[in-house]
Structure 1
Amino acid sequence: MSSLLRAAALAVLTSSVLTAAAQGSTLTIATSGDAPTLDPNLTFSGLAFGITNHIYDSLLTREDDGSIKPRLATSWKRVNPTTWRFELRRNVKFQDGTPFNAQAVKYSVERLINPENKAAGAYVLSMIKTVRVIDEDTVEFVTADPFAPLLAHLTHPVTAIVSPTAARASGKDFGRQPVGTGPFKFSRWNAGNQIELAANPGYWGGKVNIPRLVFRIIPDVGTQVVELRTGRVDLITAVPPENYKDLDANKDLTVFKKLGWGSTYLGFNTQSGVTKNVRVRQAISQAVDRDAIVSVLRQGLAVKANAPIPPTVYGAGKNLPGVSYDLAAARKLLQQAGVKPGTRVTLATYEGAETRQLAEAVQFSLQQLGLNAAVQITDYGTYTANMKKPNHAELFIGSWGTVTLDADYALYALFSSKEIPANNWAFYKNVKVDKLLLDARRSNDQARRLDLYQDAQQQIARDVPWLTLYHPLTTYAKTNRLQGEDWRYSWINLDLSKATLK
């Protein structure tokens, strides 16, 4: 063999060994789209939170059993009805070497709620009016009114603590140069292709065993499944229902499912069009075969429900009046409401395989009922902008994640008239419900809060501002080389700080 051929062969062999070594030390996760930013305070994107969760820490966290546990805060107490004091974890450093302390907490919280920043998630902590630095390791939050679910809200990924030094230095570019206290630190970002993180050697929680973490952007879920089967990705964050059984039977893979904190619903515009009439809303609700949607479209990877939030959430409704599929009764109700056969309505949703299938199923139900339904599918940004207009479509398909696992986060946002049009896209108004939800967020009596939430959901069920279609099961699939991950409720809660690669 000539020296040239030997050199070429050696180069190929070396390249193969290095590639194998890199793959062996890298965990690759498929994600459906690029993150808009990696600044946790100035985004409200699930695509972003699924990555920022590994770079940053919040003060508190939710465990798998739903309990609230320490993260960057080690203890807390309610000083008076409107003041909470937090003791902070000591000897923690940001990934840029600067210290984590009470000033960093004050900076991050004020950055989130500052109206000038126009943060989409500001409402998560908008009840905080003052952040007091008591000393380097102690901080107080003062709220305008008593706010019972504050601890739950502090588990939300939008409340993550950022490095003040890095954020000030980077300015508007901080979302591309993120610095937190989490188990992984930012390495590089190839826009539209992948985002790379590296283990944080100074992580306060101990040694991180996975050297390199890569998020590959693969919009098509079918391609994600192929890449998982061939080992080119190690984890997909949602399993298509049609692939679940096949992947579950693969001995080289592990597939996971559990009830999370999500809800998928059919909403009604209660202030415009024929859906202003509660009997029309009741008729449509009876005309939708939710059992078929769960069994056929979701292939069992969902739970039909009457409550707007799943039972994993504190304060979820119990013993609510159910809605059974009854097309004959639905047609009679529609006739009693004075709606003529062939009346035109619009059903709006956003682009996505699941939402498109749901829209087609609901459209068929509406046609069976006697309504002429036009489906309007747009990109998510256009959809949300349209939903904030009072005269938007009569019906809309959407979803909500009660990330804090406290009913306030969903019920107040979705059904309080104070949240029109920000989150209450049904434009639903009920004075009784408003008072119940306000009393629940102000009461420190947890038993009373539960009663108030039950009463509110009973009234909401009678008014029918929307129909809960199902609570989806959260799913993921992984190669068996990944061990020790903690999924909890969703991929934005995924904890890899103690995980290993075989």
Structure 2
Amino acid sequence: MQTLKTLTLLLLTATLATANAQGNTVTVATANDAPTLDPNLTFSGNAFGITNQIYDSLLYRDDDGIKPRLATSWKRVTPTTWRFELRKNVKFHDGTPFNAAAVKFSFERLIDPASKAPGAYVLNIIKTIKIIDTDTIEITTSEPFAPLLAHLTHPVTAIVSPTSARKFGKDFGRNPVGTGPFEFDRWNTGNQIQLNSNKAYWGGKVQIDKLVFRIIPDIATQIVELRTGRVDLITSVPPESLNDLENNPKLAVYKKLGWGSTFLGFNTQSGITKNVKVRRAIAQAIDRDSIVKILRQGLAVKATAPVPPTVYGAGKNLNPRPYNVEAARKLLREAGVKDGTKISLVTYESAENRQLAEAIQFSLSQIGLTTSVQILDYSAYTTAVQKPNHAELFISGWGTVTLDADYALYALFHSREIPVNNNALYRNVKVDKLLLDARRSNNQADRLKLYQSAQEQIDQDLPLLALYYPLSSYAKSTRLQGEVWRYSWINLDLSNATLK
């Protein structure tokens, strides 16, 4: 009998130990694997959602403004020079001290043309980086650049360990080392990425022992895993599942207007969309209210400008472009476009984009246009829309990660960004000047006026039609507490999270 009691006690202890171990692990489901975990050499949200757990940037953006992270204070020394005081006594996961040399190394690595970093434009305004002392650095830009602080909150500007980056070279993305709350442990490609808590994190004790990102492409499977407790958080909520998830007492759903815009872009240099009347006709043929209500089922807000109102410098009182099929048909006739004219549309693979493509295809059929739709994987899509004779229409989205209009408006509409980001191939000398002037101005009131003027002109030229602003959403188990969701899953902060 004593032996049986002892065995039972041992089994119970083992069970509790297993439960406790599992209880200190948070599992997050994502639809796609990260291409790399090197923050400086990627521009993928699939990567940033994970790299933001491993690395820190100098600054970060909260609801009430820009806050210190690895930089503790900053000041403008001249119109083109900023000085940053850095956090002391911080170490990278490999034991390397964090200092001004690490900042210089990371930024120069990002903007070095040899790196071919897709996100280099975030900081390529930098002319020189000067180390004042171990904990002080000066950044000088080639011209006055008002959005610099906002750009330094971007995850592509994360500070990497110079020691490990040099040691692993091109393989650093598989061996990431930063100063963040979690350290890299292992990566089973296409399956999951596991991180462990950083026991020496400068920001304080991390309560979660392990953080696992499971790659589950099918959203329905993600929801099943969330309901059964094998996943603690999913990074987006499909509209058709919203009510069901909200009514589950074991789950909590978060939704909030974020920084994103979903749009229909026009090739302004070739095809029938070269004619602005055609672009305006197509804009009036699309019922954006129905798209928001029926397709997105309330998980979006109808767009009124290229960027949402959460973004500094968002346009106000622009042309609403009301849904009007007859007016659209009239504009097409004025443009000399006949019924049955073919038009091409391209986008990248996602359930949301497929729905949008079908809705737009139907809408255009109502004004006599026959739309051929091509859906590509994301890599093929980005290559396709950088060609001068690409499809007349394209569906895409943009997240204004810095929450400063410059980040979206300059990338999407300045002629210097053709063809990498300005896929509409849009050129307007007036808009170019307005956007440059807004970058250079230190007067915030003047910047707002300049962005308003730029967006009014863009609205007239219509290189893209903003369809809606997606609500940033996630669903989680109620046992997960203390997570912070800043506008998007790429800024998910679990450094102070706990598990019930």
**TM-score normalised according to structure 1 size:** 0.97
Partner of 1:453: 451
- The letter of the residue matching 1:44 is F
- For the pair 1:134 / 2:123, whether they are aligned, the reply is no
- For the pair 1:473 / 2:471, whether they are aligned, the reply is yes
Partner of 2:107: 109
- Post-superposition CA distance 1:222-245 (Å, at most 9, x none): 100110011110000000111011
Partner of 2:281: 283
Partner of 2:197: 199
Partner of 2:306: 308
- Post-superposition CA distance 1:374-407 (Å, at most 9, x none): 0011111111101011100000100000000000
Partner of 1:341: 339
Tell me how far apart the structure 2 counterparts of residues 215 and 110 of structure 1 sit (CA, whole Å).
30
For residue 241 of structure 1, the aligned residue among 239, 261, 268 is 239
SS in structure 1 of the partner of residue 231 of structure 2: coil
Partner of 1:160: 158
- For the pair 1:70 / 2:68, whether they are aligned, the reply is yes
- Post-superposition CA distance 1:327-381 (Å, at most 9, x none): 0111111111110100001011011100011000000011111001000111111
- Post-superposition CA distance 1:198-229 (Å, at most 9, x none): 11011001111111110011000110011001
- Shift in Å at residue 306 of structure 1? 2.0
Determine if contact 1:306/1:323 at 8 Å carries over to the other structure. no
TM-aligned CA distance change 1:349 to 1:11, over 3 Å:
farther
Show the 5 A alignment for 1:216-227. Answer: 216-227=214-225
Partner of 1:376: 374
Q: Which moved more, 1:155-164 or 1:13-22?
A: 13-22
Tell me how far apart the structure 1 counterparts of residues 260 and 42 of structure 2 sit (CA, whole Å).
19
Q: Which moved more, 1:11-20 or 1:215-224?
A: 11-20
The gaps in structure 1 that reach 5 residues or longer are none
TM-aligned CA distance change 1:38 to 1:6, over 3 Å:
farther
Tell me how far apart the structure 1 counterparts of residues 375 and 484 of structure 2 sit (CA, whole Å).
35
- Post-superposition CA distance 1:128-172 (Å, at most 9, x none): 011100000000111111111000000000000011111111111
Q: Which moved more, 1:5-14 or 1:121-130?
A: 5-14
- For the pair 1:28 / 2:27, whether they are aligned, the reply is yes
Tell me how far apart the structure 1 counterparts of residues 47 and 265 of structure 2 sit (CA, whole Å).
26
- Post-superposition CA distance 1:76-122 (Å, at most 9, x none): 11111111110001111111111100000000000000111101111
TM-aligned CA distance change 1:9 to 1:36, over 3 Å:
farther
Q: Which runs of 4+ in 1 moved over 6 A?
A: 5-15
For residue 330 of structure 2, the aligned residue among 320, 328, 332 is 332
- Shift in Å at residue 7 of structure 1? 12
Tell me how far apart the structure 2 counterparts of residues 368 and 323 of structure 1 sit (CA, whole Å).
17
Tell me how far apart the structure 2 counterparts of residues 10 and 188 of structure 1 sit (CA, whole Å).
34
Show the 5 A alignment for 1:30-109. Answer: 30-65=29-64, 67-109=65-107
- Shift in Å at residue 43 of structure 1? 0.8
- Shift in Å at residue 420 of structure 1? 0.5
- Shift in Å at residue 64 of structure 1? 2.4
- The letter of the residue matching 2:61 is R
- The letter of the residue matching 1:428 is Y
Determine if contact 1:346/1:375 at 8 Å carries over to the other structure. yes
Tell me how far apart the structure 2 counterparts of residues 429 and 6 of structure 1 sit (CA, whole Å).
81
Show the 5 A alignment for 1:400-415. Answer: 400-415=398-413
SS in structure 2 of the partner of residue 369 of structure 1: coil
- Post-superposition CA distance 1:263-306 (Å, at most 9, x none): 00000001100001111000000000101100011001101012
- The letter of the residue matching 2:52 is N
Partner of 1:395: 393
- Shift in Å at residue 16 of structure 1? 4.7
TM-aligned CA distance change 1:330 to 1:140, over 3 Å:
same
Determine if contact 1:348/1:377 at 8 Å carries over to the other structure. yes
Q: Which moved more, 1:211-220 or 1:16-25?
A: 16-25
- The letter of the residue matching 2:152 is L
Determine if contact 1:306/1:467 at 8 Å carries over to the other structure. no
Partner of 1:495: 493
SS in structure 2 of the partner of residue 166 of structure 1: helix
Tell me how far apart the structure 1 counterparts of residues 499 and 141 of structure 2 sit (CA, whole Å).
44
SS in structure 1 of the partner of residue 265 of structure 2: strand
- Shift in Å at residue 33 of structure 1? 1.2
Root mean square deviation, CA, Å: 1.7
Partner of 2:353: 355
Tell me how far apart the structure 1 counterparts of residues 439 and 221 of structure 2 sit (CA, whole Å).
44
Tell me how far apart the structure 2 counterparts of residues 306 and 345 of structure 1 sit (CA, whole Å).
25
Tell me how far apart the structure 2 counterparts of residues 220 and 247 of structure 1 sit (CA, whole Å).
16
- Shift in Å at residue 19 of structure 1? 3.8
- Shift in Å at residue 22 of structure 1? 2.5
TM-aligned CA distance change 1:39 to 1:11, over 3 Å:
farther
User: Matched residue pairs, number?
Assistant: 499
Partner of 2:440: 442
User: What is the aligned-residue identity percentage?
Assistant: 73
- For the pair 1:298 / 2:296, whether they are aligned, the reply is yes
- Shift in Å at residue 20 of structure 1? 2.2
Determine if contact 1:34/1:191 at 8 Å carries over to the other structure. yes
Tell me how far apart the structure 1 counterparts of residues 392 and 7 of structure 2 sit (CA, whole Å).
67
- Shift in Å at residue 17 of structure 1? 4.5
SS in structure 2 of the partner of residue 243 of structure 1: helix
